[in-house]
Amino acid sequence: MTIALYYSLIGMTFLIAGMVKGTIGLGLPTVAMALLGVWLPPSQAAALLLIPSLVTNLWQLFNGPAWVCLLRRLWPMLAAVCLGTVFGPNLMAGGRAGWASLALGLLLMLYALLGLANLRWRVNQQSEAWLGPVIGLATGAITGATGVFVIPAVPYLTALSLDRDELIQALGLSFTLSTLALAAGLARHHLIDAQMVGLSLLAVAPALAGMLFGTWLRGKISAALFRRALFVGLLGLGLEITWRHLPMVW
């Protein structure tokens, strides 16, 4: 692969991922990992998404006044996410890249199927005290293994009966801390270097451009139709990654 093609694929990946996030409020890390995972090891894909994910999630987090209240409410889950990510099993380290890719493919399929099923859960506030940390540890362990931090955090947050603006900020808060914890976990296993940081920094521009375009696109198309198309696409990518890496782990 030529250098020009390499850079072009990275730019296009984050343009698409940013567009998805701008349209539906989430999905940049998931889409970026899915697309990058087709041609890069999960550890490199995760390192590339760190800065674009952090910048776009901070933008989402501070776009409203509710983040302080949400931090007070969600801190047990968020603390558990950080612990699970930094100290949980890391399939991206050492010689386990094949297992990490397989886990990524399976997780993308699970996330897509849950999205297409459009299941509705509700969590009462009495259950948050014990369920939040459990969800956080599970999310952190999956984040450390695959670089994707949507399962089970996103279904849990959508089940808390938050209004639309609060939910968007809660997702931004969860994703921001997950990104920082993922960076710490990758650094702990020596999976980040100066070159990847530089490429991640360069990826911010296409991610923001895509996010702005997605924000404009949100008012032009059906969000429900776009979500279905996204989940079908993620399901296909998950199948491809799983099929390609399944023989490598046996």
Could you give the CA distance from residue 89 to residue 93 in angstroms, rounded to a whole number? 9
Would you list the DSSP string of 132-189?
HHHHHHHHHHHHHHHS---TTHHHHHHTT---HHHHHHHHHHHHHHHHHHHHHHHHHT
Joined tokens for residue 33: 């990992």
- What pTM, to 2 d.p., does this model score? 0.85
3-state secondary structure of 64: coil
pLDDT given at position 120: 78
Could you give the CA distance from residue 23 to residue 27 in angstroms, rounded to a whole number? 9
Q: How many residues does the chain have?
A: 250
pLDDT given at position 41: 85
Could you give the CA distance from residue 226 to residue 31 in angstroms, rounded to a whole number? 14
pLDDT given at position 97: 62
What per-residue string of b and e applies to 37-54 under the rule 16 or more CB within 10 Å gives b?
beebbbbbbbbbbbbbbb
pLDDT given at position 250: 61
Question: What contacts 168, CB < 8 A, 6 or more positions away?
Answer: 25, 60, 63, 64
Within 10 angstroms of residue 22's Cβ, the number of other Cβ atoms is: 24
Contact yes or no for 200/11 (Cβ under 8 A) = no
Count of H helices and E strands in the chain?
A: 11, 0
10: phi then psi, degrees, rounded to nearest 5: -65, -45
In the chain, helix, strand, coil percent, each to 5?
80, 0, 20
- In the predicted model, residues of the chain with pLDDT beneath 70 are 88-97, 245, 247-250
Joined tokens for residue 26: 């989430």
pLDDT given at position 180: 94
pLDDT given at position 131: 94
What sign results for the dihedral spanned by CA atoms 85, 229, 237, 207?
negative
- Please report, for residues 102, 139, 180, the alpha-carbon distance to residue 108 in angstroms, rounded to integers and kept in the order given: 10, 14, 21
pLDDT given at position 81: 95
| pLDDT one-digit tens code per residue, 57-114 | 888 788 777 788 999 999 999 999 999 998 866 666 666 667 777 888 888 898 889 8
pLDDT given at position 93: 65
Joined tokens for residue 174: 């969860």
Could you give the CA distance from residue 150 to residue 172 in angstroms, rounded to a whole number? 11
Contact yes or no for 81/203 (Cβ under 8 A) = no
